[in-house]
Amino acid sequence: MKIITITSGKGGVGKTNIAVNLAVSLAHQGYKTCLFDADIGLANVNILMGLATAHTLEDVISGKKKLNEVIIKNWNKIDIIPGSSGVEQFETLGKKALDNLLNQFSGLEGYDYIIVDTGAGISKPVISFCLASSLLVLAMIPEPTSLTDAYSLLKVLTFNGYKNRVNIVVNRCKTPKFGEKVFEKFKITVSKYIKLDLNYLGMIPEDEKVSDSVSNQSPFLIKYPETQASGAVREITKKILKAKHESPVEIKTFDSFIKTCSDFFKSSLKLARQQPAADSPEENRPEENKPLENKDEELKAANKAEKEIPENINPKDILEFLKKIVENTDKISKELEFIKESLKINKTPSYDNYQIKPEPQEKEENLEPPVLTLDFEKYVNKKK
């Protein structure tokens, strides 16, 4: 079983549309596929498919329904789990309730692929599903807000121990060439500050047929199979089938995946990298991006540590801790502010600034927009 998580730094980039059509593409190629709507409070999978869902995973967790009563089976060869706000309840589940839920998920075996459509942005549920997946797909559009939010999401993932490859899909592109250029500029920026391997899965062109299919509540791969967007999804599917899947833990069944997500839900979400004390021995310093191994033992140790906090805490230690938080927050804020400034698009672009040579003028008007520049060298030099 392979878990593919589709996520994004912000909403409105077409993440759910990509998840739905990717599931359709895999199913049509003969792979047993399950689509898990893990977007808390804003579940849109059923809307894009024109399906009415009276019950969701929340009803299963509360004990009102069994999982087989909630799951939508064999819709265009896809099984669908409507997640809704029930996903967030993983964090508060007791052992008995979690065991009951895992027993129900254990019956859902035999899937080749599970597509997880997360919520947008940075939250504990989003980070948890990203950490538990075997292949992560980050959707973005060529706009400054989308790229800066995607950058922020990647940074928080690394703070929480993520080390695997991140696969990028650029949605709503004018041309294939433009999608590649946006990815390259984004990759250059990320590599300066984050140690992650980024892989370009492909682009999906801006297509009026996509908007029409959303209005008609039908995946564009079904309603318009010959459109350019459908062809792009099929190309992305080919790359996913060849991609290497890496999991932090061994996941063979659906219930083991849910158990892993639940463990991440119950851990503390890190929004900044924890720096070791300057005078601490080298062997005792925490490694940067520590691997997520022995998760159960770490959680027990963390819970035990919280209960053993002494009452008499040195005020100087508290001030020092708060000082580090302010420094980390200020650093991230400055980075993001500069990214936003770098991504501003001028009405009359300068090719010198964008570092792209102008192509020979053609008779037809060149509609390709300027590539967004993510150049940090100038920023770094100013700080010297």
Residue 118, classed as helix, strand or coil, is strand
Q: What is the pLDDT of residues 251-265, one digit of tens each?
A: 667 777 877 887 887
If pLDDT is split at 50, 70 and 90, which confidence band does 40 have?
low
pLDDT at 146: 93
Name the residue with higher pLDDT: 349 or 175.
175
Residue 259 lies in a domain: yes
Report yes or no on 176 lying in a domain.
yes
> Is 73 inside any structural domain?
yes
The answer on pLDDT for 162 being more than 70 is yes
Query: In this structure, what token pair is assigned to residue 242?
Result: 């060849």
- d(CA 112, CA 22) in angstroms, rounded, equals 13
Q: Does the pLDDT value for residue 158 go beyond 70?
A: yes
- Residue numbers of the domain that contains 186: 2-266
Tally of domains in the chain: 1
For residue 125, name the pLDDT band (cuts at 50, 70, 90). confident
pLDDT tens digits for range 59-77? 887 788 888 888 888 898 9
Which H or E element spans position 257?
A: helix 254-266
Q: How far is CA 281 from CA 277, 318, 347, in A?
A: 9, 22, 55
What is the rounded CA–CA span in Å between residue 133 and residue 151? 19
Residue 342 domain flag: no
* C-beta of residue 10 within 8 angstroms of C-beta of residue 121: yes
Query: Where does the pLDDT of residue 121 fall: very low under 50, low under 70, confident under 90, or very high at 90 and above?
Result: confident
* Domain assignment of residue 205, yes or no: yes
- What pLDDT does 356 receive? 38
Q: What is the pLDDT of residues 272-318, one digit of tens each?
A: 665 544 444 444 444 444 444 444 454 454 444 444 444 455 556 66
Supply the pLDDT for residue 371. Answer: 55
Going by C-alpha positions, the residue among 331, 338, 350 that lies closest to residue 189 is 338
- Is the full-model pTM beyond 0.85? no
- pLDDT of residue 167 exceeding 90, the answer is yes
Q: Are 251 and 260 in contact (CB under 8 A)?
A: yes
Terminal CA-CA length for the chain: 50
Is 19 domain-assigned?
yes
Give the DSSP H/E element, type plus range, for residue 166.
Answer: strand 166-173
| CATH code (residue 55) | 3.40.50.300
User: Tens of pLDDT along 206-238?
Assistant: 999 998 998 888 999 999 999 999 999 999 999
Range name among 95-99, 200-204, 321-325 with the lowest pLDDT average: 321-325
Cα dist from 103 to 74, 91, 168, 205, whole Å:
22, 18, 34, 42
Residue 170 placed within a domain: yes
Q: Would 252 be classed as within a structural domain?
A: yes
Q: Rounded to whole angstroms, how far apart are CA atoms 302 and 66?
A: 33
